[in-house]
Structure 1
Amino acid sequence: MRDESLLYQCKAGAPLENHLSVQGNKILFLAANNLHIDSVLLAGKENRKFYMEDGKIIEQFFYKAQFDKIKYTKPLTIKNTSLQADASFDLRGLNLKVGFLEFAAYNRYDRETKTFSGILGSTFEIMKKQMNFTVNAVPCIDGNYGAQVSGGVLHNGVRSNFNGLIGMLERKEIDIGLADLSLTFPRIKVADFGGNVVEQPVYCLISRPGNNLQFRAYFNPFYLDIWLSVLFTASCLLIACFLLAATSGQRMDSSGYKFQPLSRWMRNLELVSFSLRSMSMKDNFLLSYQRYRTTWRLLMLTYILVGYLTVEVYNAELTSYLTSKEIQLPIQKMEDILDHNDMKLGLHRGSFLVTAIQFSSEEKYQRLWNEKVAGNEFGEIGWENDDVLLQALEENYILAGFGELALAVMGRHPCKVTKLPTEAMFPTQLGIYLQKDSPLTPLFKKELQKLQEAGVVHNIKQAIQKETMLSHKVCTDPNLKLGIQSTVFLFIIIGLGIISGFTILILEIIHNKVIPKQIGKNIQFSE
């Protein structure tokens, strides 16, 4: 116990008993010699005084008797009924070891002033001032928040089930863990949650579409199964054309209705041309055969119907895709990556997401861990370096990140990063953690409740979030806005068409000039 470090004060009240009286603003008990100290009544619950001894919090009381100063102590026992709304807890002389992790929006530590800031940090500083204790700030030993680890973590001869700040609390290396720590069931088995300061969503970040050259942009309006269905339908109609043409006799001239025999090659080429032109709704024409004229007309009507629906829907989807200002994402939620073999999932290293997915009993989360996370380069990724995050996104990873942390990455790289519309999980509660069954836990919860009821925590959140939003950038890439990357395929087709045209032109020149001359020479030579 430190001398003169503790005082007991409470509101003055009326005389308690014949042998007791109250004088001034401090309690002053005048008792007879035979009055036992246990029978002295307390006159209030405000400004209670405590100190730490052998890892326990002791409450200290001072009374003045008629002849001598009387003092006694007893271990602190907290009951919900004793925590009045206006109670204030003075922990003067108590020095707490606080482990911390830094992130700008939630918690920052100034090593010169030795103070915390951010939503959680500022709230903690107010609680420290109100409760009158001091701290010894200790950085997290491994940079992790606290995830359950197979085999545990051994540090200084003590093993814990968790790493990070939660592991430090579990091994009793610190008294308080100060970071944007989420409330989860596995964590509260080994540590106490000190109360909800702010709720935090879980966002899934994805590489913003449109930054890379879109070679398949003109195929994107339809999904693969639709393209396969269209191809299957067109193939069936083409086979029907070949079968019908094989039994319909000779092709007739549409003007004179005279028999006009065609070679097998030309007949096949004509059927393919008829199929393509009818499906694309370009210059439809009817093949005139001797037999089955009605059947041919029905076939053509089928072509027109299928082609019209396909072409019109495709044109509408393509126009919407190329001109829409909204981002067209390949997936809508995290679980959708199970249907995409080229996509992988990156979890925030050391966060509760790793524990939640790795040890989940749900089949979809087990598949996510085994197929998309485990063994991959960025399956568990730190969020300290933006270059690493951008590299993972470029390699088609979906990154699951937390609230302001994820939004800050989007704010710094608005042209490269966006988020899925559906959050990965329900918002989680953030707050400080204390050692399991710590006597400080009810005191911190009560003090936090007072600050929330007074609107202090809300004002801190509003100020920090406004500051964060003002620091976000806006995408100004003109190519991304115009969607030029999506038109690359069109230029490829134009280029191939030009090359094909010149190739055919050269072949025609050779056929019309070189070959006849060669034939003429051969004839002269033979004569």
Structure 2
Amino acid sequence: DAPFIMYKPENQRGPGIDAFEGYCIDLLKLLVAELGFNFTISLEPSNIFGELLEDGNWDGMVGQLARREMDIAIAPLSITSFRQSVIDFTKPFMQSGLQLLISKPNRNADFFAFLRPFSPLVWILIALALIFVGVVMYLLDQYSPVDLDYGNCFPGLRSRFGSTNSFWFAIGSYLQQGVEAYPRSISGRLLATFYWFFVMVMVASYTANMAAFLTTSNLAVPVSSVQDLTKQSAIDYGTVIDSEAMDFLKSSTETVYRNAWSHILENSKTSLLNSSLVGINKVRRSKGKYAFIWYYPELEYAALRKPCDVMVVGSKFDLRGFGIGLQKNSPYRDVFTLAALKLQERGETEKLRAKWWDQQTQCPPSTSSAADAVELGVNNVAGIFMVLGGALMLATILLIIELFMFKFCVSRASSKRTMRQVCLDRYFK
């Protein structure tokens, strides 16, 4: 079972232990260096860890240990109460548990992905904001006393914000581009200031959320737990026959696992497989139609290797440890347990895990969540729209104040001086 025990490439194989590689092989070498013992390595012929047969005997590695045909078994051998009744175990050298292996969903091309950071309603509100700002900017230009006064002094230059320029100002500001005409009145400048603040917040929100969409996979995972599997019929699922995983599902008293076992039993020809390698390869070939229930160290390794078409999902369950198996009442049990603990304390087992998992990565990290990046809805941006709405109302109020003040000031000035004198004093003095 990769990456615990694997054959080396043919051109690199040597005699005995040098024909193999993997986590357990390296662990065995560390134990040899720690304890200084000699050994002869052999493979279990049926490639089975060990299950209790109907006649009361055990097969696989557990059976060989129970019959005293070998002294120790170094493999991803789960520690269970049934096995401990016939063999001994060291303390666990690795923690394990069951998870799901599924095919990575295909990501469909999205030609309008640039619209995803905002919800449709927010895009509509942005368009309405552009229109309202353009209209109000035009009205401020037409009725502001500052612009009227400037037009009276320079008739050819009065209107800077006609209907076209007003909307061009609104669009250009939103796209963060400069425009030729800017407001002269206090009300117009106040509206422009708050509008630019609105644009700054919206652009920053769009950029941040777009980055989130681009940097997360956003894969639509069809199932993420055994419970999800039992609620659907499109995806078949199963595990290895006569394995600890099968025994757990078979003997569990929890409804969700009982339902899962019922499905597996009804579809045993396709659901129960001969080995974990067969299960992993079946997931790869199934194109999303099969999920494999197995122990996560092996599933994690498979998900890290090319062709990068599978992923591990769901929470771990049936948590248990992998230990070194020994004959019942073996005098070596405490010796190997103490040696394994020393290796853990020195960080040797963590180094082995990093070597055979972290450093074997051939695929980019994937996520089982489809909601890492969520489009911004109205509730997320309502505040900035309120600020813009308040600015529109405040600009209108300032326009009214400007009209009254200008009317009062001009009426007093024009009674004593000509319009030419007023213009010269205001713009050239």
Provide the TM-score with structure 2 as the length reference.
Answer: 0.53
1:388 corresponds in structure 2 to 282
Structure showing greater relative contact order (alpha-carbon pairs closer than 8 Å, 6 or more residues apart): 2
Provide the TM-score with structure 1 as the length reference.
Answer: 0.43
1:167 and 2:63 correspond: yes
2:90–2:337 Cα contact (<8 Å) kept:
yes
Following the alignment from structure 1 to structure 2, what is the Cα–Cα distance between the partners of residues 345 and 147?
22
Q: Which amino acid aligns with 2:57?
A: S
2:14 corresponds in structure 1 to 112
1:463 to 334, 338, 355: 355
Following the alignment from structure 2 to structure 1, what is the Cα–Cα distance between the partners of residues 365 and 95?
28
1:187 and 2:80 correspond: no
1:132 to 36, 48, 52: 36
1:370 corresponds in structure 2 to 262
1:196 corresponds in structure 2 to 92
1:343–1:372 Cα contact (<8 Å) kept:
no
1:218 corresponds in structure 2 to none
Following the alignment from structure 1 to structure 2, what is the Cα–Cα distance between the partners of residues 430 and 379?
25
Show the 5 A alignment for 1:32-431.
Answer: 103-108=1-6, 112-115=14-17, 117-149=21-53, 151-152=54-55, 160-161=57-58, 163-210=59-106, 325-381=217-273, 382-385=275-278, 387-391=281-285, 393-394=286-287, 396-413=289-306, 416-423=309-316, 425-431=317-323
1:197–1:457 Cα contact (<8 Å) kept:
yes
- Indicate the SS of the match to 1:431: strand
| Cα shift readout 1:292-323 (whole Å, capped 9, x = no counterpart) | xxxxxxxxxxxxxxxxxxxxxxxxxxxxxx99
Change beyond 3 A, Cα 1:441–1:334: same
2:5–2:21 Cα contact (<8 Å) kept:
yes
Name stretches of at least 5 consecutive residues in structure 1 with no aligned partner: 1-102, 153-158, 214-321, 477-527
- Indicate the SS of the match to 2:29: helix
Following the alignment from structure 1 to structure 2, what is the Cα–Cα distance between the partners of residues 420 and 326?
14
Following the alignment from structure 2 to structure 1, what is the Cα–Cα distance between the partners of residues 340 and 30?
10
- Structure in which a larger fraction of residues adopt strand: 1
Q: Which amino acid aligns with 2:236?
A: K
2:363 to 440, 458, 473: 473
Following the alignment from structure 2 to structure 1, what is the Cα–Cα distance between the partners of residues 217 and 6?
37
In the TM superposition, residue 204 of structure 1 has moved relative to its aligned partner by 0.2
Change beyond 3 A, Cα 1:387–1:124: closer
1:346–1:373 Cα contact (<8 Å) kept:
no
Following the alignment from structure 2 to structure 1, what is the Cα–Cα distance between the partners of residues 350 and 292?
29
Q: Which amino acid aligns with 1:333?
A: S
2:89–2:325 Cα contact (<8 Å) kept:
yes
Q: Which amino acid aligns with 2:5?
A: N
In the TM superposition, residue 333 of structure 1 has moved relative to its aligned partner by 0.7
Change beyond 3 A, Cα 1:389–1:145: farther
In the TM superposition, residue 336 of structure 1 has moved relative to its aligned partner by 2.0
- Pairwise CA RMSD: 3.2
| Cα shift readout 1:83-114 (whole Å, capped 9, x = no counterpart) | xxxxxxxxxxxxxxxxxxxx342234666242
- Indicate the SS of the match to 2:3: coil
Following the alignment from structure 1 to structure 2, what is the Cα–Cα distance between the partners of residues 389 and 398?
6
Report percent identity of matched pairs.
21
Deviates more, 1:116-125 or 1:432-441: 116-125
Following the alignment from structure 2 to structure 1, what is the Cα–Cα distance between the partners of residues 253 and 329?
28
1:383–1:389 Cα contact (<8 Å) kept:
no
Following the alignment from structure 1 to structure 2, what is the Cα–Cα distance between the partners of residues 341 and 445?
46
In the TM superposition, residue 139 of structure 1 has moved relative to its aligned partner by 1.0
Following the alignment from structure 1 to structure 2, what is the Cα–Cα distance between the partners of residues 186 and 374?
26
Change beyond 3 A, Cα 1:351–1:211: farther
Change beyond 3 A, Cα 1:372–1:120: same
Following the alignment from structure 1 to structure 2, what is the Cα–Cα distance between the partners of residues 465 and 206?
19
**Alignment coverage as a number of residue pairs:** 256
1:279 corresponds in structure 2 to none
In the TM superposition, residue 177 of structure 1 has moved relative to its aligned partner by 1.4
Following the alignment from structure 2 to structure 1, what is the Cα–Cα distance between the partners of residues 325 and 339?
14
Change beyond 3 A, Cα 1:409–1:458: closer
In the TM superposition, residue 340 of structure 1 has moved relative to its aligned partner by 1.0
1:306 corresponds in structure 2 to none
1:454 corresponds in structure 2 to 346
2:134 corresponds in structure 1 to none
| Cα shift readout 1:404-446 (whole Å, capped 9, x = no counterpart) | 32123223356532222323x1543122111122121111111
2:325 corresponds in structure 1 to 433
Name stretches of at least 5 consecutive residues in structure 2 with no aligned partner: 110-212, 367-429
1:415–1:475 Cα contact (<8 Å) kept:
no
